[in-house]
Amino acid sequence: MPNAVTVSSETTPADRTYFCHHEATRSEAIRRLVELGLTVNVTAKQPSPSRAARAKELAKNTIEKIIDPSAPPEERAQRRRRLTKGPSEFLEARVDLSKARGK
């Protein structure tokens, strides 16, 4: 199945220099750059303590608005945990948690 990427048909002198220096066609150079971009590891930045506290407060207030007030306290606490922590199936994929905490 062919894949297509729409890129401006104009090449700049910098583009031509890259192609010549790396002995690549335009499409090969784009493929290499995309592969390079997909292999870069990006670490999640931790928010400042004040921003994290503000986010927690906003989340708490929003969750309290949507949780059924007639549910027993244990059920509300469980729902709150599931909304803030997410399903256990996705814990490994969370980039905002260190691997030590996720296990």
- The string of DSSP letters for 11-73 reads --HHHHHHHHHTT--HHHHHHHHHHHHHH---PPPPPPHHHHHHHHHHHHHHHHHHS-TTS-H
pLDDT at 50 > cutoff 90: yes
Grouping H, G, I as helix, E, B as strand and the rest as coil, residue 23 is coil
Write down the pLDDT at residue 13. Answer: 76
Task: Please tell me which residue, 76 or 2, carries the higher pLDDT value.
Answer: 76
Within 8 A by CB and 6+ apart from 43, the residues are: 95
Write down the pLDDT at residue 3. Answer: 63
pLDDT at 83 > cutoff 50: yes
> Does the predicted TM-score (pTM) go above 0.75?
no
pLDDT at 43 > cutoff 50: yes
